[in-house]
Chain A
Amino acid sequence: MDVILLQILNGLDKGSAYALIALGLTLIFGTLGVVNFAHGALFMIGAFCAVTLSRLINLSYVTLDPVKTDFLGNPAKIKTPYVEAWFGPETGAWLIDWSVPLAILFAIPVMIAVGFIMERGLIKHFYKRPHADQILVTFGLAIVLQEVIKYFYGANPIPTPAPELFRGSFDFGVLIGFDPNAIIYPYWRLVYFAFSALVIGAVFAFLRFTTFGMVVRAGMADRETVGLLGIDIDKRFTIMFGIAAAVAGLAGVMYAPINSPNYHMGMDFLVLSFVVVVVGGMGSLPGAVLAGFLLGVLESFASMNWIKDIIPGIDQVIIYLVAIIILLTRPRGLMGKKGVMED
């Protein structure tokens, strides 16, 4: 029992990332009908928002130490981050420590802006073109974004630690009545899961309980009629694109401590997220979330040793295998609606 629980927990953090990216992909697909291959790049940009903010906060000025000298006899240099000088040492240190969660605030406007620019500048012109063209142009865009990031941040992963408070692990099993040391779980992964659940909940609530969300849902169901009612649906869909970009970006920000950001992390996640979207059903938001978690957990189960002994290599291919089976037996995916991208 505790083994099963542990695997479920292990799958949750990856599953959360898949679910968040797939949610954004589906939002874009459902509203604008665009297959966005650059969505992984948005995830990556989000992660680099965290890197950028932590670098900004860590900007320091150098003063010379009056007493100490280094081994060459020159006065030793002391680096003081500006934030410590401005807000006092304690607040400054706290800001530096909490740079990743703070990056959420930084990433939201950045990602929405990036989304707007992408939609207005490029993707707008591709609504009428075939899906293959959309895939190709967003694939090209993904390459460009990736290379731009590589140019500014280099090719190596950049470690971006979580706040001190959430580093390390705790004994999750004891809390729910298992033996000690049965389920050890890192804090940050729990935070990540809670955060993604919050974001997913917020997106759903936004779509369900606000007028704006209602209009967007109506537009997803029948764009033309909504347009005829005198609503500028294009504008709202652009805003949805921004929101989808922000969701992917937030997924990236919070993922930075789990996996040090590098420029190709987006591409790595993109392929899997597409598989997730297809498994969940094109255009179905709950399907995307469900499939994201499901595949994440399945992946972690498949990497258990005794399963690997029975079917070697299953951990490497399980997601793709599931996708192939689903696509062939349930063409609409788990929760796909009738009439959405069926051919």
Chain B
Amino acid sequence: MLGLNTKDTRLLLIVIALTLSTPILLQPFAEGTGLAQFNAGYPDLMQRFAIFGIFAIGFNILFGLTGYLSFGHAAFLGVGSYSAVWMFKLLSMNILPGLILAVIVSGLFALLIGFVSLRRSGIYFSILTLAFAQMSFNLAYSVLTPITNGETGLQVTLNDPRILDGVNASPYTNLFGLPMSSSVKLELLGRLFTFNLGYYFCAVIAILAFYLSLRIFRSPFGLMLRAVKCNQQRMSYTGLNARPYTLAAFVISGMYAGLAGGLLAAMDPLAGAERMQWTASGEVVLMTILGGAGTLMGPVLGAGFIKYFENIFSKINDTVLHSWFAFLPDGIEDALVFVVQPFVGKGWQLTLGLVFMLVVVFLPGGLMEGGQRISAWIRRKSRKDDGRADSEHRPGTSPHIAE
């Protein structure tokens, strides 16, 4: 189906099913119970899952396939956001023109930066992309204030021209009149499910993005990119020029980032320069590595993991901890809270950093490799007579999920 083999079709269908049922799946705990705060099924967070999933999928096309580690991808995210907001200001609050412009502008920007940066590889490439991104960030904060509105961030105001919109057009971001914030709420079994138009829009785009990346992974072009990662020298000896392929990968991943930035602006029409800072670039690196670089599902998982951490894990404070450990004797309770407390709540980044380090040290293939190891272990347990345990001895080379 759609040019995919059976296995990939199954994977895609699973992804579609999971994505569409996210508002239900992420709301497993009943309202009013102590665990309800772990529900992630509210629109804002789900949108972020989808958007940063797109961002990470795009980054993975570059890093996972070619091995070029870009430390400046947030620049494209920021550029995408700015272009989308400008479209909302000038043309229409309909999000489609904004998204299209975001993709185009970030693609052009990526072409420019990629053309220069890809002349070097390895750590130099990382530093070059980092330098370009920091330059864009600094400029957005200072000189480009007329375009970016500096520290305040670019916002949509009521007296913007919006030439395509009529007088009575909706002042909110919308899709042909349907506002992004409109949602249907459903209460079932004590759980509150929110089906939000914005989320479903992001989800559909994310599925398309995933499909495209699946096709790229399976295409001759994807094979070329893998060849770049594997052995660029040998590739050039066989008469192939690696540069056009890597540049294409760079531009594609830049466009993914721009799309993600555009979607961020579409969900909340605001664009700030901090989206371009290098820590934001670092975040997408974290997502991709955490999930598993070079795998299809890994980056999405990583993005979800980090965003869940950022939004849910960070809410656990002392009071919550005390209520968890309340069944223990007082002294032990206090001691446990004292031990756990630095790692949760405001300290979520500490836990994230530790998890990230553990993953890099012990699981170079990320969470995907972890999952595979566990499933391999279970399989081996189930048929012990099979003898040789081979999956343990293939560290580093991460097999793809759909293989």
Known: A274-B130, A343-B122. Is A313-B354 also a contact (CB below 8 A)?
A: no
Are the C-beta atoms of B342 and A143 separated by less than 8 Å?
A: no
Q: Known contacts A140-B353, A316-B139, A317-B139; decide if A341 and B128 are in contact (CB<8 Å).
A: no
Cα A331 to Cα B119 with chains together (Å):
10
Q: Which residues of A contact B289 (CB under 8 A)?
A: 136
Closest CB-CB distance, A97 to chain B, in whole Å?
34
- Which B99-129 residues have C-beta < 8 A from chain A? 116, 119-124, 126-128
- Binding site of B, secondary structure by majority: helix, strand, loop or mixed? helix
Q: Of the candidates A151, A271, A282, A328, which one forms a contact with B119 in the assembled complex, judged by CB atoms under 8 Å apart?
A: A328
Residue contact A331 to B353, C-beta cutoff 8 Å: no
B280 in contact (CB, < 8 A): no
Q: Decide: A331 and B122 in contact? CB cutoff 8 A.
A: no
CB <8 Å contact, A133 and B354: no
Pick from B134, B135, B141, B353: contact of A143, CB below 8 A: B353
Instruction: Tell me the complex Cα distance, A139–B356, Å.
Output: 9
Q: Which of A110-159 contact B (CB under 8 A)?
A: 122, 125, 129, 131-133, 135-137, 139-144, 146-148, 151
Given contacts A133-B364, A143-B349, A313-B139, contact A320 B131 (CB under 8 A): yes
Whose C-beta in chain A lies nearest to the C-beta of B349?
Answer: A147
* CB closest chain-A residue, reference B122: A343
Please give me the residue from chain A that is nearest to B143 by CB atom: A313
Report the bound CA distance from A278 to B364 in whole Å: 27
Assess the A140–B135 pair: CB atoms within 8 A: no
B282 contacts A by Cβ under 8 Å: yes
Contact A143/B278 with A132-B69, A274-B130, A313-B138 known, Cβ cut-off 8 Å: no
Measured between beta carbons, the chain B residues less than 8 angstroms from A202 are none
Q: Is B353 a contact of A324 with CB atoms below 8 Å?
A: no
Q: Is A321 part of the binding interface, using a Cβ–Cβ cutoff of 8 Å?
A: yes
Contact B69 A312 (CB under 8 A): no
Question: A327 within 8 Å of B by Cβ?
Answer: yes
Complex CA gap A271/B126 in Å reads 11
A171 CA to B69 CA in the complex, in Å?
A: 48
Q: Is B230 an interface residue (CB 8 A)?
A: no
CB closest residue in chain B, given A277: B127
| Contact in complex: B132, A320 (CB < 8 Å) | yes
For residue A51, CB closer than 8 A to chain B, the reply is: no
Give a binary string over B283-300; 1 marks a CB under 8 Å from any A CB, 0 the rest.
001000100000000000
How would residues 187 to 222 of chain B score, 1 for a CB under 8 Å from any chain A CB and 0 otherwise?
000000000000000000000000000000000000
Residue B269 CB within 8 A of the other chain:
no
Closest B residue by C-beta to A29: B123
Chain B nearest Cβ from A264, distance in angstroms: 9
Closest to A270 in B: B278
Q: Is B270 an interface residue (CB 8 A)?
A: no
* A: contact size bracket: 35 or more
Q: Which B residues touch A316, using CB under 8 A?
A: 135, 138-139, 141-143
Contact of B127 among A136, A148, A327, A343 (CB under 8 A): A327
Q: Which residues of B contact A139 (CB under 8 A)?
A: 282, 285
Residues of A within 8 A of B131 (CB): 275, 320, 323-324
Does B323 belong to the interface (CB within 8 Å)? no
Q: Are A144 and B121 closer than 8 Å at their CB atoms?
A: no
0/1 per residue, B259-279, Cβ < 8 Å to A?
A: 000000000000000000011
| Contact call A135/B123, Cβ cutoff below 8 A | yes
Across-interface contacts of A271 in B (CB, < 8 A):
130, 134, 278
List residues of chain B with CB within 8 A of the CB of A275: 127, 130-131
A151–B347 contact, CB under 8 A? yes
Instruction: Find chain A residues with CB under 8 A from B123 CB.
Output: 35, 131, 135, 282, 341
B135 and A137 contacting across the interface, CB-CB below 8 Å:
no
User: B279 to chain A: which residues have CB within 8 Å?
Assistant: 267
What CA separation (Å) do A253 and B289 show in the bound complex? 34
Whether the pair A151, B127 counts as a contact (CB closer than 8 A) is no
Contacts A136-B360, A146-B353, A320-B134 supplied; 10 other A-B pairs, CB < 8 Å: A135-B123, A135-B126, A140-B356, A143-B349, A151-B350, A278-B127, A320-B138, A323-B127, A324-B132, A331-B124
Task: Give me 18 A-to-B residue pairs in the complex whose CB atoms sit less than 8 angstroms apart, sorted by A's number.
Answer: A132-B69, A136-B356, A137-B361, A139-B282, A140-B353, A140-B356, A143-B350, A144-B353, A144-B354, A146-B353, A148-B350, A151-B342, A151-B347, A275-B131, A313-B139, A313-B143, A316-B141, A323-B128
State the B residues within 8 Å of A (CB).
67, 69, 116, 119-124, 126-128, 130-132, 134-135, 138-139, 141-144, 278-279, 282, 285, 289, 342, 347, 349-350, 352-354, 356-357, 360-361, 364
